Structure 1
């Protein structure tokens, strides 16, 4: 049967594991020592006037996102998205996202960045420095508010302008990729130091990438488009590995009339589940219509300013780059929707119908002992 991909959204994706409140306050020292603030209590707002985000040491971590969506849709594919066989094409497309450049691409892109503020210091000296520690090189990027605009800020080469400290320094932290290095737990420390040795440090942690589980609310149902029957000439110009044209016809012909029945049944289920968006049909590559094997929906989330989680949905592409049909996932990349692939040389992988078919992965609902759900991975023998 044809397979569909269910695109799910729902439960909060972050855990409230903040430490207990710290009684010691620095109210009387405000304006005379460095005082960095982040969203330490994870309510979506950096508190600059009260004490909800005040602490003596970085005992609580704010969260930040890997900024991998495409808020302005500058990563759109050409129409012949499944006709290019060069694996470098896949790498180039996967690398296109909002963190790939050093520009904040509008207000929606700014919302994907974590805020770091320093309370104003009226007598701030020249020569103050920002330092980033705990994160692998290239994993994060800083922006600074300068004359009302955000610009890149390289703390390794640039001191903090004294006037920025006097006015109240404003930084933004951007995660540049998901956590692929298992030696890093996602924690980043940002330190503001003055020439006289006074300093302050805050800690942030990259939001985890979580698979969506089957009890989360469906947002949209995605279906492979009706297969097209290739002529013998078309087939022989671009054959399917292991198939003769006769094999292809025997496999493909029954699927064409079956597609309508499957689509109608799936659409009825969508309406019964009260999913408002209509079915979305994506083009397929030749006989490869197994949409559920093309990608797996996941998500990252941080507290939003409006009290709701700010979510970037992440579509994990099948790791088999020899499967060009899965390139359709790049069509779905847009504002708050990212595409991630993790693959080696495609020819090092087993055939596409085994473990590289990502439909073999499923995330079971959350459980008290597994609050972020339980992932089960299967494979054919």
Structure 2
């Protein structure tokens, strides 16, 4: 059981706050953990050398904090982009190697202008404009074709994805010349910020985290081998886009989601029902969650804890979660609710379409034991 002091401590640090340090803020993965939450929970529930698992690895926040706290870590996700983000956030690369890689990419851009691959469809190009569309294809082709190792290619791919995300959501309505503004300086600035972050990671660690592309329904992890599980499953009632980039142009009356990430990574886009468990009136969500929790129960050591960070818009779905938890034989120790700020902004796509966003009023930490 947790003491009152521990519960009060969790309530205190679980409130949202700005992230900083190491690679914590190089990419904001959708519905991501804020780093101080897994950091403190890992300190409470584990010791150095313990083995931690995150079955929904997402942006790799738990893996990064486990590595920095000298814990072993294994994570699973079915989204190739999640694995990319996680690897970049936890892999040290020297400044010299990264700056040299950036020079190689810039040198290749000119030579590839006549032979670059096309990563955008016609509507993407219409929304982005001719110059930015061309530069995006040049940069993507340069990253793919340059003589870079896999670690460097991952790094620069993530930088390009981040910049594309910013450009796609930028409101150019009041800037008549936006179509003539190059994106290459923005890409260079983002790379330089990421270079500072990645090169600040420890040069070597005792327990490098491992990230596996695959389902958490059948994790290749021995029974009763994990000391602590910390995770955040998909949100049931929130439209989160894990694999696409939103491109929005109010002046053109267009808003769309591009498959640029999948094309850059050379992977097939996953159906949204697989990423977010949507469909079948919500029953698909609960059946998947039950299988995921069963897999977690199998690998967790007896008397150890699993923490789930999630939120629901209705009390009924909160009760369904608790029912599912008990169905797979976990004991529910505590539910700690964290109010969310009222001044948060909904996604640009939701506001563009004037939707009733019904944003979450609170998230909760569900603390379970086996």
Give the TM-score taking structure 1 as reference length: 0.23
- The one of the two structures with greater contact order (alpha-carbon pairs below 8 A, sep at least 6) is 1
Greater strand content: 1
- Larger Rg: 1 or 2? 1
Give the TM-score taking structure 2 as reference length: 0.24
